[in-house]
Amino acid sequence: MTRDSSPGRAGPPVDEEEARIRVGRPAKHAAGIKAVQVSLTRAVKQMGLVKSAKNLLALNQEQGFDCMSCAWPDPQDHRHTAEFCENGAKAVSWEGQRETVGPEFFAAHPISELYQRTDHWLERQGRLVHPMVRRDGADHYEPISWDAAFALIARHLTALDSPDEAEFYTSGRASNEAAFVYQLFARAFGTNNLPDCSNMCHESTSVALAQTTGVGKGSVTLHDLHDADLIIVSGQNPGTNHPRMLSALEKAKRGGARILAINPLKEPGLLRFGNPQTPRGLTKGTSLADEYLQIRSNGDLALWRAFAHLLLRADDENPGQVVDREFIDAHTVGFEAWEKHVRALDWDQVRTATGLTRAEIESAAHLLATSRRIVSCWAMGITQHRNGVATIEEMVNVALLQGMIGKEGAGLCPVRGHSNVQGDRTMGIWERSPDWFLDALRDEFGFEPPREHGHDAANAVRALRDGRARVFLGLGGNFASAMSDTAVTESALRSAALTVQISTKLNRSHLAAGRDALILPALGRTEIDRTAGVEQRVTVEDSMSVVHASRGRAEPAGPLLRSEVDVLCGIAHATLGDRYGIPWQEFARDYSRIRDRVARVVPGFEDFNDKIRRHAGFTLPHPPRDSRSFPTPEGKAVFSVSPLEVMTVPEGRLVLQTLRSHDQFNTTIYGLDDRYRGIRSGRRVLFINESDLHDQGLADGDHVDIISEWPQRDGTTDERRAERFRLVAYDTPPGCVAAYYPETNPLIPLDSQALGSGTPTSKWVVVRLDPAAASGSTAEGDQV
Ligand SMILES: Nc1nc2c(c(=O)[nH]1)N[C@H]1C(S)=C(S)[C@@H](COP(=O)(O)OP(=O)(O)OC[C@H]3O[C@@H](n4cnc5c(=O)[nH]c(N)nc54)[C@H](O)[C@@H]3O)O[C@H]1N2
Ligand SMILES: Nc1nc2c(c(=O)[nH]1)N[C@H]1C(S)=C(S)[C@@H](COP(=O)(O)OP(=O)(O)OC[C@H]3O[C@@H](n4cnc5c(=O)[nH]c(N)nc54)[C@H](O)[C@@H]3O)O[C@H]1N2
Ligand SMILES: [Mo]
């Protein structure tokens, strides 16, 4: 028996414009001259020539602003004049767009109409420039003053029965200063409900690394990548999502490093890179991956366990050549139990889970066994799985086995997503901040912060859905589209008494509005921040724990825009007044006052203001990296044992992973092409293996609805549907299909979460295909 849990459509509609898909051959390399062309054309079209030149030249320069497209670090010593990539240029152009969305726009377009538009259309309308309110029962947003908006928020917050009825969401673009003020406000108000985009992103990493190494962050610097002799890239598509990482891979490669890629898809960015900064790159390029394991979805835990098994065996044959006993004895606990577990490996399980041959695995393991300096990188292909935490723990086990932490040219390198997502966590955006952090806040501000853990993203949805939360504030981001189970998330937001979105562009979260709803337009990273009449700057932390200043150069999109810090201090002051004597207005007038407080609360930020004045950036302490000390309860790094769960799907079903095209930033859709995968003019595609097409009696070019299946305790199956995807025959392992997010978020059940981290399982959704339902569609999709 089945039950359809999402009656009616939720999420982006099927749009004619997006149904004229053309399919060509996937690319064999990334970047090159084409990337330069695309960057410049987009920039000039959206920002005009003068602004383009100004913005792109300030991008990632010491006196300029930090690129908001990803968290990859900037070189500290030598920066190119154009220290950005095609997708960074797209992000800047998108923010610098000349068109604006003001009161006339909202007067002309009711919310019900806007909801029928695609995400691409919504964001393309331009920059938000006026605070807007939707009053209970109305179908339009109308203008409101900043003060009235702050008063409305304060009224709703103070009317709650408990502070835990409010949710304070953060997306990872917020600066350190904004993040610090925001969490301080939430906690002074009385709650730890600080869900953030990390919960959907690298939470599995943070949990696994904290448990095993004592620090939830990566242990490498950019130099380590350059100096490595083996770099492993698992579950990551850097050619699209971290293009500047390709320069580091290239540099390592030219220094003699080998690269091992582990990915179900042959991503062009991992095959070959044409560095647009060099003449060679514009022509031939450098080949990257030496070995490419085209693994089945979710096979990584089994693969890493097999690596460990083979490394132990290799060391048996050549004692002391592979395993670092000295490191294990001095710095770790739990080795014996883990070793026993790993020696008893079941190769049948490994074959089923990975879909790889033993010879392929042995050849890759040989790369590890013969390397002295190994850096292991990973991203969403690892974290967004039910067993993401266990997989990362196994990657850590292998690093410990070979002593690859706290050594030059080696280490763990989770590659973060949003440009300041790591900094936001450092500043206390965390629903489970540890006691030492809360103690430091108490000592600095003289109030007792709440100690009970707050809601993560999934629990925030549950609380709103069940009426246990009634106010939702979003500091950036697009919670309605980014979160799993779109129908449930949207209706949870709609049931709120108040939703507040602090945003730069129109998105679906503004349309899943609470009974009262506010849109508060914020300055972006590229814009000059003249809060209180002086030019302010902010700081960010990259994926490798380097903190540096960022200052926009462009004129703001409109005169009414306010900085995130200013908006948050306004809300806090209206809500709390001078409770606890926190000087909100002073913070907004001079951000260095916020940094003074950060300096006293967060370790590593001593002399914060001074440091950012004097240096291009400073690196935060990381005990495992710096001195091989591991601040776990045991005082040592921990080998962890977890069962090897081999995930399978029922007969006739497929596993769907949801990922990014080359022309989007998360829920922001820049355009409808995915050049590297050969897709033009549309996004509703499903990449599928030829053999699966054959088994299902389908063909490339057919259209299907995708239906996900989620078994219930009572034996029934919950079903969710996403309509009308064009099938694309593609080089993906049998049984493993792929489609873009956010179109596929309606398929992911809210309860389908990673164990231990709660991250939605965006890379593992069991689906079946329904061709009949989509047969009304025309047979476009010609080969080009
Ligand atoms: N231009 C651009 N830049 C971005 C973003 C963007 O949307 N656009 N988003 C930013 C954010 S927030 C983040 S978190 C990062 C995301 O960066 P990525 O993690 O690179 O993003 P995804 O597109 O989700 O790609 C996941 C990759 O994992 C692979 N994969 C899927 N399942 C498995 C598996 O089971 N095992 C293995 N080994 N691989 C698997 C997929 O084939 C794909 O190559 O990028 C950041 N940078
Ligand atoms: N199915 C599926 N779902 C996923 C993922 C997946 O791979 N598959 N990935 C997950 C991941 S890794 C992440 S990080 C989340 C992302 O989740 P979010 O961070 O919530 O989403 P974004 O799409 O990055 O947010 C875009 C919006 O941010 C606002 N914005 C942009 N710049 C600024 C700014 O400078 N200031 C302010 N105030 N607002 C700004 C704009 O209004 C824009 O519409 O999505 C997650 N969801
Ligand atoms: Mo992310």
> How much is the pLDDT for 83?
67
Which pLDDT tens digit goes with each residue over 672-709?
A: 999 999 999 999 999 999 999 999 999 999 999 999 99
Residue 411: left if φ>0, alpha if ψ -120 to 50, beta else—which one? left
Query: Which residues, in sequence order, are bridge partners of residue 546?
Result: 619
**Proportion of the chain above pLDDT 90, given as a percent:** 85
* Residue 545 CA to ligand 2 centre (angstroms): 21
Between CA 10 and CA 13 the distance in angstroms is: 8
Q: What is the pLDDT of residues 454-505, one digit of tens each?
A: 999 999 999 999 999 999 999 999 999 999 999 999 999 999 999 999 999 9
Closest C-alpha to 257, from 167, 165, 157, 376: 376
Q: Which fold has domain 113-201+420-615?
A: Rossmann fold (3.40.50)
Report whether pLDDT(638) > 70.
Answer: yes
Q: Where are the domains of the chain?
A: 2-28+650-770, 32-96, 113-201+420-615, 207-414
17 pLDDT tier (thresholds 50, 70, 90):
low
Ligand 2 pocket residue status of 101, Cβ below 6 Å: no
Q: Residue 51: what pLDDT?
A: 80
Q: Which of 8, 11, 12, 21 is nearest to 703 (CA)?
A: 21
Asked whether the beta carbons of 32 and 282 are under 8 A apart, the reply is yes
Burial 227-239 (b: 16+ CB within 10 A, else e): bbbbbbbbbbbbb
Residue 125 burial (10 A CB sphere; 0-12, 13-18, 19+): middle
Does ligand 1 come within 6 angstroms of the Cβ of 275? no
- Segment 521-549, tens digit of pLDDT: 999 999 999 999 999 999 999 999 999 99
CATH topology of domain 207-414: Dimethylsulfoxide Reductase; domain 2 (3.40.228)
Residue 585 pLDDT class (50, 70, 90 cuts): very high
Ligand 2 pocket test target in 242, 425, 504, 763 with most atoms within 8 Å of CB: 504
Does position 776 have pLDDT exceeding 60, yes or no? no
* Burial degree of 2 (CB within 10 A; 0-12, 13-18, 19+): exposed
What distance in angstroms lies between residue 195's CA and the mean position of ligand 3's atoms? Answer: 13
Between helices 564-576 and 146-159, what is the axis angle to 10°?
50
**In terms of CATH architecture, what is 2-28+650-770?**
Beta Barrel (2.40)
Q: pLDDT tens for residues 39-64?
A: 888 888 888 888 887 788 778 777 78
pLDDT at 782: 38
Give the pLDDT band (50/70/90) at residue 779: very low
The yes-or-no verdict on residue 296 having pLDDT over 50 is yes
Ligand 2 contact, 417 CB (< 6 A)? yes
What is the average pLDDT across 120-145? 97
Share of the chain above pLDDT 70, in %: 96
Whole-number pLDDT of residue 451: 98
Counting ligand 1 atoms within 8 A of each CB, the residue from 70, 249, 765 with the most, and so the one to mutate, is 70
Q: Once rounded to an integer, what is the mean pLDDT over residues 7-19?
A: 74
> 293: helix, coil or strand?
strand
Ligand 2 near 92 CB (within 6 A): no
Give the Å distances, CA to CA, from 254 to 73, 81, 137, 249, 286. Answer: 20, 22, 63, 9, 9
Please, what is the Cα angle at 143 between 142 and 149, to 5 degrees? 110
* 674 C-beta closer than 6 A to ligand 1: no
Question: For position 6, what pLDDT does the model report?
Answer: 43
Helix (H) or strand (E) holding 457: helix 457-465
Q: Which ligand is nearest to the CA of 478?
A: 2
- Mean pLDDT of the 256-263 span: 98
Tell me the residue type at 109.
H
Lowest mean pLDDT among 60-64, 372-376, 435-439: 60-64
User: Once rounded to an integer, what is the mean pLDDT over residues 618-627?
Assistant: 97
pLDDT in tens, 222-250: 999 999 999 999 999 999 999 999 999 99
Determine the distance separating the centroid of ligand 1 and the alpha carbon of 673, expressed in angstroms: 17
> What does the pLDDT look like over 658-672, one tens digit per residue?
999 999 999 999 999
Query: How far apart are the C-alpha atoms of 253 and 255, rounded to whole Å?
Result: 5
Q: Is 551 helix (H, G, I), strand (E, B) or coil?
A: coil
Report which ligand 2 atom has the smallest distance to the Cα of 505: 42
Q: Is the peptide bond before 73 cis (omega within 30 degrees of 0)?
A: no
Confidence band of 775 (pLDDT split at 50, 70, 90): low
pLDDT at 7: 43
Please report, as a single letter, which amino acid is at residue 769.
L
CB-based contact 728:686 (threshold 8 Å):
yes
The answer, yes or no, to whether any atom of ligand 2 lies below 6 A from the CB of 496, is no
Q: Looking at the predicted structure, is the pLDDT value of residue 266 above 60?
A: yes
Classify residue 569 as exposed, middle or buried by CB count within 10 Å of its CB (0-12, 13-18, 19+).
buried
741 lines ligand 2 (CB under 6 A): yes
Going by pLDDT thresholds of 50, 70 and 90, the confidence category of residue 275 is confident
Q: Write out the E strands in 409-503.
A: 411-414, 471-475, 498-503
Spatial CA neighbour of 723 closest among 3, 22, 4, 9: 9
Tell which phi-psi region holds residue 666, choosing left (phi > 0), alpha (psi between -120 and 50) or beta: left
**Mean pLDDT of the chain, nearest integer:** 94
**pTM assigned to the model:** 0.96
